[in-house]
Amino acid sequence: MSARGPTEEEIRNIIMPLMLSGAKMLDRHCPNCGSPLFEKDGKVFCPVCEHRKKQQKAEMKGVEERLMEKLNELANSLPEDIDELEKHLRAMEKIIELLERYRKLEGGE
């Protein structure tokens, strides 16, 4: 995923309120997205990257929830037929693999 500079919306919704809240805008820029860095309570941070990370996490949570739903659905409707059952289990296995991958992404920095 290539980093892009802050959009107008991000400037309006993230950077402006931050400036109004008394955070100090530094004359350094985020190497990742180009947004000005801010300092608050002695901590230097990029508000845009922080916001994007949070958003991404929320999106991943949404995907995770849908996968869990599907997994439950499959688990609750196991077919009698052995061939069908195997297909079912394979699908469940794939979902579980995906879930694990998502959880790793979420936890890993």
Q: Which residue in the set 11, 23, 33, 71 belongs to the binding site for Zn ion (CB under 5 A)?
A: 33
Tell me if 30 contacts Zn ion by CB under 5 A.
yes
Coarse DSSP helix, strand, coil percentages of the chain, rounded to the nearest 5 percent: 60, 15, 25
Instruction: Decide whether 40 or 103 has the Cβ nearer to Zn ion.
Output: 40
Question: How many residues are listed for the chain in this entry?
Answer: 109
Q: In what order do the strands lie in the sheet with 43-45?
A: 24-29, 36-40, 43-45
d(CA 43, CA 1): 26
Range 37-96, binding Zn ion (CB under 5 A): 46, 48-49
Tell me if 15 contacts Zn ion by CB under 5 A.
no
Instruction: Decide whether 33 or 67 has the Cβ nearer to Zn ion.
Output: 33
Q: Which residues bind Zn ion (CB under 5 A)?
A: 30, 32-33, 35, 46, 48-49
